[in-house]
A = this chain, B = another copy of it.
Amino acid sequence: MQAAIIAVGSEMLTPTRLDTNSLYLTDKLNQLGVEVALKLVVGDHRGQLESAIRFASIHAQLIILTGGLGPTEDDLTREAVSSATGRPLAIDPQICDWLEARFASFGRKMAEINRRQAYALEGAEVFPNPNGTAPGQWLALPGKQYVVLLPGPPGEMRPMADKEFFPRLQQILPPLALSTLTYRIAGMGESDLDTLIAPTYKQYENPVTTILAKAGDLTIHLRAQTSSQSESDRLTAELGAKLRALVGERIYSDDGSPLEATVLRLLEAKGQTLAVAESLTAGMVGARLAGIPGASHSFVGGFITYNNTRKQTLLGVESDALAQHTEVSEPVALQMAAGAKLRAGSDWAISLTGYAGPDGGTEENPVGTVFIGLAGPDGYLTAHRFRYPSGDRDRVRQFAVQSSLNLLRLALI
């Protein structure tokens, strides 16, 4: 089955708003074996909306509309669907009673304008909306075509889709068993990963393999669909094992969790603690770690040393090291890590110092160069030099955060 998603609302045709409902719907639809063939964004304009529904009906058996179900004159989805399908609208007394009761529960009388929301298409099933005043509708048309009306606000759309729409959809779909597997990977680039695994995953049409990339962080998704759960599971397990053999310990999680969660889990398993000493990232590593609930079991805190004086006063970096090697150097990264470990009283410490740009850098160490130090138990002390693509200050910093967490992970395993 192919679906078309139509997002209704002029605000989504401005430079600042995107239709993100379609991502949520697409994810769930794909899990049910339904592909999305088309997406449209249409303003609050009845003629265009009607025309869009007709266009979508040529290419999709399932047409999902989000938005335009409010009480105002601008909310035209009901009317446009009625015109496009030839199904008249009529007041549904049940919706009307429900709306009046809802307003009464807030101690308010329903405004006449809200009566618009009580109109249902002839023959439609109505989806209740516990989170707002716009009910949804499900309309079966001749020739196994279906039109679904859902509210626009994600806080109303998502619960209604989950509770009403997808279960209703499942009733008309052939049963399909889904199996998924997610690997997250650090320490290699997207094209290197693809070169490594493409010859293997391209042998499989099922599972479908997708690779996602952001600064220093890669994700492989496998998704198998067959008529039997055990067969789907077998397929993802088989391809998953082959990919794991190729990618090895660069896979840091297979449950979707981010790198900092893996690091915290490894630390907690050993009963060890971590401090940070951040220069160019100025708190980004700490903020990433503390984004995980329960981080305080292993992450104790640390130091932001954004200039040389504080590298000396807060971490004890020697002025000789700074003078001889500059602040972006292996000796300074080592001293920062050792100083942070000592002064924060932790088992491990990560340090980062580098040139994020746009200014700074030397001939030897241009913008994009970052030294990352790592101090650990039993005198463990090491530093690595990284060169990231320069030009985007924030991207250099994000790459550096990812590398530092990955270095610690590799040291812990």
Contacts and interface: CB of A to CB of B under 8 A. Distances in A.
A281 interface: yes
Interface string A292-304: 0111100111111
Contacts of A276: 283, 304
A289 interface: yes
B291 A283 contact: no
Interface in A336-361: 343-345, 356-359
Interface in A239-253: none
B13 A23 contact: no
B282 A306 contact: no
Contact of A301 (B12, B284, B314, B357): B314
Interface string A36-51: 1111111101001001
A280 B37 CA distance: 44
Given A51-B59, A283-B290, A40 B39 contact: yes
Nearest to A278: B283
B304 A302 contact: yes
Interface residues of A, number: 71
Given A59-B48, A301-B282, A344-B310, A15 B26 contact: yes
A40 B38 contact: yes
A359 B295 CA distance: 12
Given A23-B16, A59-B51, A306 B313 contact: no
Contacts of A35: 13
Interface in A305-325: 305-307, 309-310, 313-314
B290 A281 contact: yes
Nearest to A51: B58
A87 interface: no
A113 interface: no
Interface string A16-57: 101010011011001000011111111101001001100100
Given A23-B18, A210-B14, A313-B345, A304 B306 contact: no
Nearest to A297: B307
A357 B292 CA distance: 10
A13 B27 CA distance: 10
A215 to B, nearest CB: 14
Contacts of A309: 300, 345
A286 B296 contact: no
A115 interface: no
A27 B16 CA distance: 8
B303 A303 contact: yes
Nearest to A24: B15
A15 B303 CA distance: 39
A398 to B, nearest CB: 10
A310 B306 contact: no
Given A38-B40, A304-B304, A344-B314, A212 B16 contact: yes
Contact of A48 (B20, B38, B43): B38
Most B Cβ at <10 Å: residue of A39, A45, A393: A39
